[in-house]
Amino acid sequence: MRTVTRTEATFLVNCHGRGQTHLGFTLVELLVVIAIIGILISLLLPAVQAARESARRTQCSNNLKQIGLAVHNYHDTHQCFPPSYVIQPGGGGVHGTPDSATRDAGPGWAWGALLLPFLEQAPLHNAIDFQLPCWHPHNEQVAKTQISTFLCPSAAGSADPVPIKDAEGNTLATFGRSCYVVSAGQNEPWLLSVDSYEGIADGPFYRNSRMRVADVTDGLTNTVFAGEHHPVLSDKTWFGVIPGAVVWPKPRFAFGGWEPAGVLVNCHSGPCSYADPPVIHPPNSPIAAPCQMYAQHPGGCNVLLGDGSVRFVSETINQLTWAALSSRAGGEVVGDY
């Protein structure tokens, strides 16, 4: 039998015994790797979120473009733009007694319901009985319909229909939600107890309006038709307006108080000719009134102009420029914005 030499024994121990090298991470190295991964994720996450928001904003812009196309197809068919909502002056019969504060009565159908045939929603339009008020039980099921074209993907809380309430908090009906409102101009006529808003509303859409292209003398490219209002501030609908209803701001904005029923479908820019002091509220204004435009896009909101184009308007837009864009025949000169 061959005897193992000292040199060979040392070699074997180094290869198979206590001299063997173990590959792996130490605790310190592992913590360093985890820290690096965390830093990379923190750098990457804002970029991913920004890309997602960009996609959502683009979808929102496309929604407004579809609404703009529908508005012009309505004009081609009826020789006027749709009103923000329709009432029977003086009410009567199924349309009820006019609300003493606003003179609202039935039927109350809003711009969104009137545009349905032009938004590829003819079956839904045909399911509505427009001879009855929008809150009539016959129209109850269709009233709750959520239409994707009226919903901005960036708007939190837009998955459910809107409970329409009065000033005491009683639910009068439930209507489909809208993240978009049409512009009544600078003035807010719904604060006045009058039967007609003619000569008061200076924008393209108001109760019983029948505006034509020729009436927008400031130019379609210089006139705001519609824009965003997200449920983070207050609820809006595309379906209709109920006399005696009010629009409550969400608790976060409760300092603003409630607004009359017309604000369910309308907005305005200010300044009101009868307000003291006169106030202008551009998109996302910290005034946070339920009657203004308000979106959850960082920095501003999408706005539909009368020519069918959509612009992203900054929340820092010059207030006088914003007011000028909101009137249809003010004669103001509007520069770049």
Residue-level pLDDT at 3: 55
Residue-level pLDDT at 232: 97
Strand partners, 267: 183
Query: What gap in Å lies between CA 314 and CA 71, rounded to an integer?
Result: 24
Helix (H) or strand (E) holding 143: helix 140-143
- How many other β-carbons are positioned within 10 Å of the β-carbon of residue 69? 14
* DSSP 8-state code for residue 70: H
Counting beta carbons within 10 angstroms of the beta carbon of residue 122, is it exposed (0 to 12), middle (13 to 18) or buried (19 or more)? exposed
Angle at 267 between CA 264 and CA 268, to 5 degrees: 150
Task: State residue 154 phi and psi, 5-degree precision.
Answer: -85, -10
Query: What gap in Å lies between CA 155 and CA 236, rounded to an integer?
Result: 12
Query: What gap in Å lies between CA 34 and CA 276, rounded to an integer?
Result: 60
**Residue ranges in the chain whose pLDDT is less than 50:** 1, 4, 9, 11-13, 15-17, 19
Query: What gap in Å lies between CA 29 and CA 40, rounded to an integer?
Result: 17
Task: State residue 107 phi and psi, 5-degree precision.
Answer: -80, -20
Average pLDDT, the chain: 91
Nearest to 64 by CA among 177, 122, 185, 149: 149
Query: What gap in Å lies between CA 241 and CA 227, rounded to an integer?
Result: 18
Q: For 288-328, what is each residue's pLDDT tens digit? A: 999 999 999 999 999 999 999 999 999 999 999 999 999 99
Query: What gap in Å lies between CA 210 and CA 215, rounded to an integer?
Result: 9
Query: What gap in Å lies between CA 220 and CA 210, rounded to an integer?
Result: 16
Query: What gap in Å lies between CA 239 and CA 85, rounded to an integer?
Result: 9
DSSP class per residue in 268-304: --S--TT-SS-----TT-TT--TTS-B-SSTTEEEEE
Residue-level pLDDT at 17: 47
Query: What gap in Å lies between CA 4 and CA 184, rounded to an integer?
Result: 103
- How many other β-carbons are positioned within 10 Å of the β-carbon of residue 138? 13
Helix ranges (DSSP H) in 79-139: 111-115, 122-126
